Structure 1
Amino acid sequence: MGTGGRFWDEELVPDGRGRTVRPEADCPVEVALAAVAGRWTTLVLRELMHGPASNGELRARLPEISSKVLAERLQALGERALVVRERLPGFPVRTSYRLTSAGEALRPLLVELYRTGVTLTGG
């Protein structure tokens, strides 16, 4: 039994952070969903799963994304501590983006989201 006599599926809700009756910002599921939220976010993450990349490399791999949206996604991922921006030595100044360990931890989530999407679309 859980809070208020309610049964909690231990696999779905292994601790008290998810035992709420409404969405809470610190619920692990909400945190994970926020990490991948936003159009293009999963694709930017997917590309960075292959290793560090510059803005230009990301734009070449995702030619349909606008510069503005890419900058917004990279900034949001940086604010969530999922991506780090690094200045590379030399001239002209170059910038590279790479996933943090928290960003790398999203890999199983992205894999499972893809598998689930395949299932939901009928294969």
Structure 2
Amino acid sequence: MTVPGNLNDNQLRFESQLYVTAEGGSVGGTDTKVRVDNSAAVTIVLGAGTDYADKYPAYRGEDPHKGVTKVVDAATEKGYEALRTEHIADDRGLFDRFSLDPGQRLPDAARSSPAQTR
């Protein structure tokens, strides 16, 4: 499913593409709806882009369609497991950068009581 458009005030062009795959069952729909029937699992790939470019004075670049299509096609070809593995690696790279060990520990009685009563 592809949804192109442009903003009313500055005519910035945008596009989003949705690609749905299912394990078993079937995928269908219309221009505005996706329907999945009798599937064990569904993978949804969403890509989006604009024609914004950091180029004075127009701040416009290429139509987003080719770029969004390229990204969605590449993600779809990887498949769910590869996308998930890549996502977790990206996430861990950001969120595992910091840890805090204050060197103290709550007494056992405090750790076993609800936080609201501590």
Q: Give the TM-score normalised by the residue count of structure 1.
A: 0.26
Point out the structure with max Rg over C-alpha.
2
Higher percent of residues as strand: 2
Judging by fraction of residues, say which structure has more helix.
Answer: 1
